[in-house]
């Protein structure tokens, strides 16, 4: 007896199939453009294909959102979505660039190596496939996992190509009045885009999920007015708006990463869902805890960022806020290089001992060795506060016994939990820091 076909989620699947149809129609119109030597017919087909890629993005944004809202996320849906995205945001944009380059060079009588467009655009398609496979393997159904991406999302990369095509070929585009030599130069730049976009897709550069960022939860009324204004601008000047918007998004990822590296702190922290209770995880009571991070061996920043990413992945734990990085001089121990310190505030359903055990595992993963008291270390993770818990066991003392005298803990802690109260002294983090910094009486 053959196995029964499992039920599928109808509405999300229909949205994904709408994406598939748009991708196939885009490829068909690009192929139709090859059959016509008439410049106007070629232009119309390319513009139509670009719009199909843009429409596919709407379906792509809807299918996952609907699946998560209706609790209908399935492995089938994830696999179908990746296969569809490969067609629409991998193959179709690559094919569009190749056809535009071949047509432009041929009609202008330019002698070129015809395998070059094929090579450059195939790199884009391959990178899109790798990006989608990695995304499917690494991303969880949890909405929190969809607030940021590692690498430029394939719809964003396809949007750059579709937006550029509209910029080049729409009748009302400012480029329509440019001379042939200038337009030819722009097509050459267009041909180089797939390489840059492909590398961004397979990179680990962090990108914000704009749909979650702009439409999730409650927002100020001004936020609504801004969205309406942007929609109006996009509808009125779409020939330029899509090109500017998608290109800015692609460039924003590496630009933000560079700025964060120079400043030594995160510039973007995903918004917490305002409808979500900070005191609950998966509907169960959670505690607010502070974890102090420190490193003065090897690549200090890399060790801290590793810890932060791993904390985001702990079970029944949500990272609420991350402080900036502080360089401080070591306290006690042998002579050693300065530390890089930070504090992470989490809401967790784990108990203090299980959480401490997880922190010890992260230290070991970065090669922490406890051979010299107060000696140098690759990664030091201390559980400073755990709600109002006061305890003293052979392995754990809460609150941390020396945190009140340590500016390298209190200063970053004040950035993320200034109001949090030390249950022993009854004073807030902000008050403890002010007292520590106050001039001492002679």
| pLDDT score at 277 | 40
Is residue 269 domain-resident?
A: no
Given 32, 102, 273, 382, the catalytic residue = 382
Q: Is residue 246 located within the same domain as residue 285?
A: no
Give the DSSP per-residue string, 159-185: HHHHHHHHHHH-TTSGGGGS-HHHHHH
| Residue 2 counted as domain residue | no
Please check whether residues 299 and 172 belong to one and the same domain: no
* Helix pair 39-69, 154-169: axis angle to 10 deg: 150
What is the CATH classification number for the domain harbouring 40? 1.20.120
121 burial (CB, 10 Å; 0-12 / 13-18 / 19+) is: buried
CA distance 430 to 421: 9
Distance CA 174, CA 151 (A): 31
Of the three residues 236, 263, 290, the one that is the final residue of a domain is 263
Residue 275 within a domain: no
In this structure, are 368 and 296 located in the same domain? Answer: yes
Say what the pLDDT of residue 386 is.
Answer: 94
Q: What is the pLDDT of residue 1?
A: 41
- Indicate whether 250 and 292 sit together in one domain: no
**Shared domain check, 193 and 46:** yes
Parent domain of 62:
10-263
> Within this chain, do residues 57 and 198 fall inside the same structural domain, yes or no?
yes
Residue 380 annotated to the active site = yes
Q: pLDDT for 81-120, tens place per residue?
A: 889 999 999 999 999 999 999 888 888 887 777 788 899 9
Token couple for 118: 């094929």
- Of 60, 81, 85, 380, the catalytic one is 380
Q: Both 338 and 205 in a single domain?
A: no
Which residues, 6+ apart, have CB-to-CB distance to 289 below 8 Å? Answer: 345, 346, 347, 348, 352, 355, 383, 384, 385, 386, 387
131 lies in some domain: yes
Residue 3, in any domain of the structure: no
Residue that is last in its domain, among 238, 263, 288: 263
Q: Is 316 a catalytic residue?
A: no
- Compute the distance between CA of residue 97 and CA of residue 157 in angstroms, rounded to an integer: 12
pLDDT tens, residue by residue, 42-64: 999 999 999 999 999 999 888 87
For residue 113, what are the CA distances in angstroms to 92, 105, 110, 119, 395?
22, 10, 10, 10, 69
Q: Can you list the residues of the chain whose pLDDT is less than 70?
A: 1-9, 67-74, 138-147, 176-177, 211-223, 264-285, 333, 370-372, 374, 440-442
Same structural domain, 192 and 90: yes
The number of distinct structural domains making up the chain is: 2
Query: How is residue 61 written in tokens?
Result: 């944004």
Residue 41 in domain? yes
Q: Is residue 95 part of a domain?
A: yes
Q: Catalytic one among 377, 404, 406, 422?
A: 377
355 lies in a domain?
yes
Which is the catalytic residue, given 68, 183, 265, 368? 368
| Active site annotation includes 131 | no
- Same domain assignment for residues 227 and 315: no
In terms of domains, do 16 and 165 share one? yes
| pLDDT for res 197 | 94
User: Are residues 255 and 289 located together in one domain of the fold?
Assistant: no
Write the CATH number for 379: 3.30.70.560
Instruction: Verify that 259 and 295 share a domain, yes or no.
Output: no
Tell me the three-class secondary structure of 266-335, residue by residue: CCCCCCCCCCCCCCEECCEECEEEEEEEEECCCCHHHHHHHHHHHHHCCCCEEEEEECCCEEECCCCCCC
Catalytic status, residue 4:
no
* pTM for this entry: 0.59
């Amino acid at each position: 007896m053959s196995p029964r076909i499992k039920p599928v989620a109808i509405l999300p699947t229909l949205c994904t199939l709408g994406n598939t149809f748009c991708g196939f129609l885009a490829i068909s119109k690009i192929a139709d453009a090859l059959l016509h030597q008439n410049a106007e017919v070629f232009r119309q087909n390319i513009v139509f294909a670009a719009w199909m890629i843009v429409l596919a993005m709407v379906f792509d944004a809807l299918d996952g959102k609907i699946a998560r809202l209706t609790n209908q996320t399935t492995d089938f849906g994830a696999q179908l979505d990746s296969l569809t995205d490969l067609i629409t945001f991998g193959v179709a944009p690559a094919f569009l660039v190749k056809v535009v380059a071949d047509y432009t060079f041929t009609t202008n009588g330019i002698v070129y190596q015809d395998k070059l467009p094929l090579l450059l655009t195939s790199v884009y398609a391959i990178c899109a496939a790798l990006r989608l496979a990695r995304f499917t393997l690494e991303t969880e159904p949890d909405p929190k996992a969809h607030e940021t991406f590692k690498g430029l999302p394939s719809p964003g990369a396809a949007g750059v190509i579709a937006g550029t095509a509209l910029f080049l070929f729409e009748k009302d585009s400012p480029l329509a009045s440019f001379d042939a030599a200038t337009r030819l130069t722009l097509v050459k730049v267009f041909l180089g885009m797939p390489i840059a976009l492909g590398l961004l897709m397979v990179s680990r550069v962090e990108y914000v999920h704009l749909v979650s960022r702009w439409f999730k939860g409650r927002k100020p009324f001004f936020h609504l007015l801004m969205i309406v204004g942007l929609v109006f601008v996009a509808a009125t000047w779409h020939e330029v708006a899509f090109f500017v918007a998608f290109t800015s998004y692609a460039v924003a990822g590496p630009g933000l990463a560079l700025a964060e590296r120079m400043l030594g702190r995160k510039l973007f922290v995903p918004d917490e869902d305002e409808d979500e209770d900070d005191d609950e995880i998966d509907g169960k009571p959670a505690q607010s805890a502070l974890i102090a991070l420190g490193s003065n061996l090897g690549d200090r920043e890399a060790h801290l960022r590793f810890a932060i990413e791993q904390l985001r992945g702990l079970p029944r734990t949500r990272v609420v806020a991350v402080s900036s990085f502080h360089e401080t001089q070591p306290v006690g121990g042998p002579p050693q290089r300065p530390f890089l310190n930070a504090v992470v505030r989490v809401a967790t359903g784990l108990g203090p001992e299980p959480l401490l055990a997880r922190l010890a595992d992260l230290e070991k993963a970065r090669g922490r060795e406890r051979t010299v008291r107060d000696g140098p270390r690759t990664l030091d993770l201390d559980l400073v506060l755990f709600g109002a818990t006061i305890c003293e066991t052979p392995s754990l003392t809460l609150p941390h016994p020396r945190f009140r005298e340590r500016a390298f803990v209190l200063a970053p802690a004040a950035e993320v939990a200034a109001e949090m109260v030390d249950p022993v002294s009854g004073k807030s983090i902000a008050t403890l820091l002010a007292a520590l910094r106050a001039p001492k009486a002679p």
